[in-house]
Chains A and B, each alone.
Chain A
Amino acid sequence: MTQTTDTNLIIGILALQGAFVEHEMALQKLPIQKKIDVVLVRTPGELARCQALVIPGGESTTIALLARLSGLLEPLREFVRVKPVWGTCAGAILLAKAVVGAKKGGQELLGGMSITIARNGWGSQLESFEADLDVTGLRDSERPFTGIFIRAPVVLTLEPSLEDPPIHVVSRLSPSLLPESLTSSNSTPEPKSFVALRQGHHFLTTFHPELTRDNRFHEYFVRECVLPSISPPRP
Chain B
Amino acid sequence: MSTPSITPSVNTPIPQSAGGAAVPLAAPARLTQREAGNSLGTFGVKSGLAQMLKGGVIMDVVNAEQARIAEEAGACAVMALERVPADIRAEGGVARMSDPHMIKQIVDAVTIPVMAKVRIGHFVEAQILQAIGVDYIDESEVLTPADEEHHINKHNFKVPFVCGARNLGEALRRISEGAAMIRTKGEAGTGNVVEAVRHERAVMAEIRRASSMNEEELYAFAKEIQAPFHLLKETARLKRLPVVNFAAGGIATPADAALMMHLGCDGVFVGSGIFHSGDPAKRARAIVQAVTHYNNPKILAEVSENLGAAMVGLTIDNKLKGGEYAKRGW
**Which A residues form the contact surface with B (CB < 8 A)?**
15-22, 42, 57-59, 61-62, 65-66, 69-70, 89-90, 101-105, 119-120, 123-132, 146, 148-151, 174, 176-177, 180, 208, 211-214
> How many B residues face the partner with a CB closer than 8 A?
57
A residues near B56, Cβ cutoff 8 Å: 17-18, 58-59, 62
Min CB–CB distance B37 → chain A (angstroms): 6
Would you call B5 an interface residue if the criterion is a C-beta within 8 Å of the partner chain's C-beta atoms? Answer: yes
Contact A132 B7 (CB under 8 A): yes
B107 CB to closest chain A CB (Å) equals 8
Chain B residues near A124 (CB, 8 Å)? 107, 133-135
> Is B111 an interface residue, CB under 8 A from the partner?
yes
A-B contact count (CB 8 A): 168
In the bound complex, residues from chain B placing their C-beta under 8 Å from that of A69 are: 74, 285, 289
> Is there an interface contact between B289 and A128, defined as CB atoms closer than 8 Å?
no
Contact assessment for B71 and A103 in the assembled complex, using a CB-CB cutoff below 8 Å:
yes
Smallest CB–CB gap between B77 and chain A, Å?
A: 7
Centre residue among A90, A174, A208 by max chain B CB count within 10 A = A208
Contact A211 B28 (CB under 8 A): no
Q: Given contacts A16-B55, A62-B288, are A130 and B111 in contact (CB under 8 A)?
A: no
User: A128-B40, A130-B9, A130-B44 in contact; A61/B111 too (CB < 8 A)?
Assistant: yes
A59 CA / B110 CA spacing, docked (Å) = 12
Closest-CB distance, A102 to chain B (whole angstroms): 7
**A177 with B292, Cβ < 8 A, contacts A104-B68, A146-B7, A150-B49 known:** no
**CA separation between A52 and B68, bound complex, in Å?**
34
Tell whether, in the assembled complex, residue B74 and residue A211 are in contact, meaning their CB atoms are under 8 Å apart.
no
On whether the beta carbons of A180 and B30 are closer than 8 Å, the reply is yes
Given contacts A104-B68, A126-B135, 6 further A-B contacts (CB under 8 A): A17-B292, A58-B55, A59-B112, A59-B113, A131-B7, A146-B7
Contact residue among B52, B74, B133 (Cβ-Cβ distance under 8 Å from A123): B133
- Establish whether residues A58 and B44, one from each chain, have CB atoms under 8 Å apart when the complex forms: no
Find out whether the CB atom of B54 lies under 8 angstroms from the CB atom of A19.
Answer: yes
Docked CA distance A129–B76 (Å)? 20
| CB proximity to A under 8 Å, residues B278-320 | 285, 288-289, 291-293, 296
- B74: which A residues are within 8 A, CB to CB? 61-62, 65-66, 69
Complex Cα–Cα for A177 and B54 (A): 28
Q: Which residues of B contact A59 (CB under 8 A)?
A: 52-53, 56, 76-77, 112-113
Chain A CB within 10 A, most for which of B42, B45, B112, B291: B45
Q: Name the interface residues of B45-88: CB closer than 8 Å to any CB of A.
A: 45, 48-49, 51-56, 68, 71-77
Question: Given that A58-B76, A62-B288, A124-B133 are contacting pairs, would A18 and B38 also be in contact in the complex, using a CB cutoff of 8 Å?
Answer: no
Q: Which residue of B lies closest to A90 (CB)?
A: B52
B residues within 8 A CB of A16?
55, 292
Sample (22) of A-B pairs whose CB atoms are under 8 Å apart: A15-B55, A17-B292, A18-B54, A42-B296, A57-B51, A58-B55, A59-B53, A62-B76, A66-B292, A70-B293, A120-B111, A126-B31, A126-B133, A127-B31, A129-B34, A129-B42, A130-B9, A130-B39, A146-B9, A150-B49, A151-B113, A211-B51
Which A residues are CB-close (under 8 A) to B5?
132
Q: With A17-B292, A66-B292, A131-B38 given, is the CB distance from A126 to B52 under 8 Å?
A: no
Query: Looking across the interface, which residue of chain B has its beta carbon closest to that of A179?
Result: B34
A177/B48 in contact, CB under 8 A: no
B30 touches A126 (CB 8 A): no
CB-CB under 8 A from A130, the residues of chain B are: 7-9, 38-39, 42, 44-45
Q: Are A103 and B111 in contact (CB under 8 A)?
A: yes
- Taking a contact as CB atoms under 8 Å apart, the answer to whether A176 and B45 are in contact is no
> For B90, what are the chain A residues with a Cβ–Cβ distance below 8 Å?
none
